[in-house]
Structure 1
Amino acid sequence: MKTNKLYIASLCLGASLTFGSCDSFLDIDAPKDQVAADLAFADAKVAEAAMVGVYTSMNNFNNQFASALLSLVLASASDDYYSAFTTYDEYKLNTITPNTSYLDRLWSQPYGYINHCNKIIEGLAVSPLTDAVKKQFTAEARFVRAFNYFYLTNLFNKVPLVTTSDINISNTLGPSSKEEVYAFIINELKLAETDLADAYPTSERTRPNKKAVSALLARVYLYHQDWSAAEKSASDVIGDTRYKLLDNLNDVFLRTSNEAIWQLQTVNTSTAGVNTWEGFTIVPAQPTARAYYNIYDATLASYEANDKRKENWLKPYTTGGKTFFMPFKYKVRTNAPVLEYNMVLRFAEQYLIRSEALLKQGKTKEAITDLNQIRKRAGLTLLDENTPIAQVTLALEKDRHLELLGEWGHRWFDLVRTNRAVPVLSQTKGNFEAADQRIPIAASVLLTNPKLEQND
């Protein structure tokens, strides 16, 4: 059937995005089963399969940009957790160079997903499908495109703003400023927010709805220091009764979690029973085996007494007579049926976003109220409403760290955007300087386009 053929093509495209040639960061070979664009977008089911193929490509192989790699390397670069494997030492020691392992994937793979989205948007623009169908899939593609640009610009600062699938154009583009990229992201998300329905397209939360866009917008506004807009977008999500802070922390990362705003489902045929690549990577194969990912000592020391996040989201193990703690948000290495999905956007972050946005606007009591929602769920003493703003600021920084630990590089980006990387990491990791917070573009990527510029 036509739909099945395109689904297979989507899987093939996912593989090509992951293991594509270095000759060009957007030069991706078309899958063998690829149908002509005018046919691919003449049927709603085929168009849906093309869009689903983007999500598949983001989470179908281990140790790729959107399937554990970004979280792992930025957890190591900050003070979340580190790997015992030497291939990650340069991230742990903050000695990243243009030749560091895996660095090329942090650039080329997001651009691969963007290129896929560009093709979908272009195909739908000339498609005979109904306006409703075209709006749905165009909005999803805009959302995913904006999501990937958010990470690219926060990783590498100035990046090319590619909005066409024409390789001859895209591979000769110079970098756009971070301000230009943010303007593009915000516009994309506003368009997507308008066109996406409030209901999820399926019974699960693996494709975005309107509130998923609002949640990402809230984060983008926060990073862009548009405090009132961040407050409003976060409030839009917090006011939706479908989302809840779950009392049982062990339920947060389940596929059925009501804290989930947007999740990715792992699609893999090579390793039976994989639930998430984080779980597969971090959880030992045997319950009594040692782990290879350890929480930094300084982070362990920052937990307050009775913090449920330490009890439920970390797991101790002993080796060589010493006790270490491994990250344990994802608890399943392999299991059938699947119990866990990769959590991309979740409800707790919206309280933290709104708390920071309120604090920046001088609404300290309201900011404390939101932060206390997170602290209450963690089993901690609530902050008094008269707590000084400087103390609230530090409490918010710590609770963002411990709440979002290991998830999608939050800690790294928080320290960099608030100018706290040097004072914090120089104390907890030793010799950390301002230059260490700039992640270089991989040397192999720079060879693909003479107009690319190394990160400062």
Structure 2
Amino acid sequence: MKNIITNRIKSLTVSCMILSSISCEKFIDTELPYNQIGTNEVFSDVSSANAALAGLYSELWSSSIISGDVTGSAAILGTYTDDLNCYAPYIQNGLVDLYNNVQIPSNTIVYNLWSKAYKHIYYANSIIKGVKESTSISQPNKDRLIGEATVLRSLLYYNLSQIFDDIPYTDTTDYIYNSQLKKISKVQLMAQLENDLTSVLNGLSDQYANQERIYINRKVAELLLGKVLLVSEKWNEAENLFSQIVQSPLYVWETDLSKVFNKTGKHILWQLKPANSTDATKEYLLYNFTTSLPTTFALSDALVNSFEQGDLRKQSWILPTVINGKTYFRPMKYRNPVNSNTTENSVVFRIEEVYLLYAESLTQQNKIADAKVFVDKLRQRAGLAPLPSGLSKENMINRIADEFRHEFFAEMGHRFFDLKRLKKMDIIALSKPSWKSFHNAFPIPEKELTINPNLNPQNQGY
């Protein structure tokens, strides 16, 4: 990703000069009114517009709500729920408080999660505005650029709404307006995201712009739209979208567990590319402990013990490591070390998620036998027997939740997002006695409430 930006960086020089003493690193910082980002110079041609969009992709890989490091939802929500034990020092930005479910509105991790997401939303809005106003970019390229930026923005909003419930929405770069935003309900936000995503589908192609699938295509947009529809309980509409993705010849089921995180896999819908060609993924760096004690996270006993006997995912993707006589469990989905990575990117969406979401949409319509087919597909690859026939709707939902956990642990905050969508969050109390029902939403950061009182009231329980 970094190489892509480097090849085009000259086209952004004028834009950084406009911002005077503000560095390119601060190019999209929302703490200042950077309305200049939408200038004609930045979007004078498709090459510079592509560079601006590539910069957003790079930001998302580097440090964001979908980044694979400690700033991302996989780590934060994994330890907040019951999949990751936290071994970070207590003073390290509130991670331990999240792990113990005793967070407070001043928690810096919570604030950073919120503020970075809105920074990236602002970046996306700047791209959309600049492309729309450009007089030199062709309409097909406009549709593609606006479509990709809109999908990225929608993903950020979707994740934020699942974490914080009611949140502010904006599609403008007007700093004064944005500084006074009020929250809208999750119902309203899902309706807005449905409209946003639907409006850009026709401008996106199914074909990928890069063979490594590091850019958004139409099927990624359809997947995200399907997830929005599930939250809105529009089961049949979601089913239709997931069916289209599953039937697409673009995607091929990967039967070998050892190849699921190989970047060339045709089961991958979208992935984030490391900055340099041989960089390790952030996930590898975060969970890499071998002879010394983990300093961030290890898999919880609750997760490890929840696998059925013989589940090949436990054997292939979890490495028991004995240190000082104690066994720690390390995620082993990503395996390539620093300066030796030529086969792994950070996977955001893969077809296995679509299978389970498809099964979920069918189950919600009482099409249990149809749903079973897709759940069994994952179980078969994991070396497990098919689910029994005749399961009730509630039992099938529980089995789908289990499959999500065992397939997607340490990935993209799945445990939190899946339980939240399935209305199963209180199951966390079984392994974390400090869990309370109001913990299914984070508090609005105290700093944000101070800056903008329109964001009140604070979430219940905080």
TM-score by shorter chain over 0.5: yes
Alignment of 1:179-218 (within 5 A): 179-218=187-226
Query: After superposition, what is the alpha-carbon deviation per residue over 1:40-80, rounded to whole angstroms, capped at 9, x for unaligned?
Result: 2121111111111110111124x866343221010011111
- Find the counterpart in structure 2 of residue 360 from structure 1: 364
Task: Say which SS state the counterpart of residue 359 (structure 2) adopts.
Answer: helix
Given the superposition, is the C-alpha separation of residues 127 and 152 from structure 1 closer, same or farther in structure 2, using an over 3 Å criterion? same
- Find the counterpart in structure 2 of residue 440 from structure 1: 443
Q: Which among 350, 354, 370 is matched to residue 354 of structure 2?
A: 350
The residue type equivalent to 1:124 in the other structure is: V
Is 1:81 equivalent to 2:91 in the alignment?
no
Task: Say which SS state the counterpart of residue 66 (structure 1) adopts.
Answer: coil
- Find the counterpart in structure 1 of residue 185 from structure 2: 177
Given the superposition, is the C-alpha separation of residues 152 and 250 from structure 1 closer, same or farther in structure 2, using an over 3 Å criterion? same
Q: Which among 234, 239, 245 is matched to residue 247 of structure 2?
A: 239
Is 1:66 equivalent to 2:59 in the alignment?
no
Aligned pair count reads 440
| Structure 1 residue 414 displacement after superposition | 2.3
Q: Which among 56, 59, 82 is matched to residue 58 of structure 2?
A: 56
Given the superposition, is the C-alpha separation of residues 186 and 304 from structure 1 closer, same or farther in structure 2, using an over 3 Å criterion? same
| Structure 1 residue 36 displacement after superposition | 6.8
Q: Which among 74, 91, 98 is matched to residue 91 of structure 1?
A: 98
What residue ranges of structure 2 are gaps of 5+ in the alignment?
A: 1-5, 17-21
CA contact (8 A) 1:98 1:443 kept: yes
Task: Say which SS state the counterpart of residue 245 (structure 2) adopts.
Answer: helix
CA contact (8 A) 2:259 2:265 kept: yes
The residue type equivalent to 1:97 in the other structure is: I
| Distance in 2 between residues matched to 1:290 and 1:106, nearest whole Å | 27
- Find the counterpart in structure 2 of residue 382 from structure 1: 386
Task: Say which SS state the counterpart of residue 317 (structure 1) adopts.
Answer: strand
| Distance in 2 between residues matched to 1:158 and 1:199, nearest whole Å | 35
- Find the counterpart in structure 1 of residue 3 from structure 2: none
Alignment of 1:8-407 (within 5 A): 15-16=25-26, 20=29, 26-28=30-32, 37-61=39-63, 66-68=67-69, 69-85=72-88, 86=90, 87=92, 88-128=95-135, 129-267=137-275, 273-284=278-289, 287-292=290-295, 293-407=297-411
What residue ranges of structure 1 are gaps of 5+ in the alignment?
A: 21-25
Query: After superposition, what is the alpha-carbon deviation per residue over 1:350-389, rounded to whole angstroms, capped at 9, x for unaligned?
Result: 0100111111111110011111011111111111333344
The residue type equivalent to 1:314 in the other structure is: I
| Distance in 1 between residues matched to 2:365 and 2:24, nearest whole Å | 43
| Distance in 2 between residues matched to 1:273 and 1:214, nearest whole Å | 31
- Find the counterpart in structure 1 of residue 9 from structure 2: 4
CA contact (8 A) 2:66 2:412 kept: no
Given the superposition, is the C-alpha separation of residues 2 and 264 from structure 1 closer, same or farther in structure 2, using an over 3 Å criterion? closer
| Structure 1 residue 337 displacement after superposition | 4.6
CA contact (8 A) 1:227 1:361 kept: yes
Task: Say which SS state the counterpart of residue 40 (structure 1) adopts.
Answer: coil
The residue type equivalent to 1:451 in the other structure is: N
CA contact (8 A) 1:13 1:57 kept: no
Q: Over aligned residue pairs, what C-alpha RMSD do you find?
A: 2.4
The residue type equivalent to 1:66 in the other structure is: S
- Find the counterpart in structure 1 of residue 452 from structure 2: 449
Given the superposition, is the C-alpha separation of residues 447 and 17 from structure 1 closer, same or farther in structure 2, using an over 3 Å criterion? farther
| Distance in 2 between residues matched to 1:144 and 1:35, nearest whole Å | 18
Q: Identity percentage over the alignment?
A: 27
The residue type equivalent to 1:45 in the other structure is: S
Query: After superposition, what is the alpha-carbon deviation per residue over 1:221-249, rounded to whole angstroms, capped at 9, x for unaligned?
Result: 22221111111111111011221231221
| Distance in 2 between residues matched to 1:217 and 1:36, nearest whole Å | 27
The residue type equivalent to 1:436 in the other structure is: H
The residue type equivalent to 1:72 in the other structure is: A
Once the two structures are overlaid, the 10-residue window that deviates more, 444-453 or 156-165, is 444-453
Once the two structures are overlaid, the 10-residue window that deviates more, 181-190 or 322-331, is 322-331
| Structure 1 residue 92 displacement after superposition | 1.1
CA contact (8 A) 2:262 2:344 kept: yes
Task: Say which SS state the counterpart of residue 269 (structure 2) adopts.
Answer: strand
| Structure 1 residue 417 displacement after superposition | 3.1
| Distance in 1 between residues matched to 2:75 and 2:182, nearest whole Å | 29
CA contact (8 A) 1:266 1:275 kept: yes
| Distance in 1 between residues matched to 2:313 and 2:381, nearest whole Å | 9
| Distance in 1 between residues matched to 2:212 and 2:106, nearest whole Å | 40
| Distance in 1 between residues matched to 2:421 and 2:375, nearest whole Å | 20
CA contact (8 A) 1:6 1:35 kept: no
Using structure 2 for the length normalisation, give the TM-score: 0.89
Query: After superposition, what is the alpha-carbon deviation per residue over 1:141-183, rounded to whole angstroms, capped at 9, x for unaligned?
Result: 1111111110111111111111101101111111111111111
| Structure 1 residue 35 displacement after superposition | 7.5
Query: After superposition, what is the alpha-carbon deviation per residue over 1:247-296, rounded to whole angstroms, capped at 9, x for unaligned?
Result: 2212112221222101111226xxx9433211111113xx4444342222
CA contact (8 A) 1:114 1:148 kept: yes
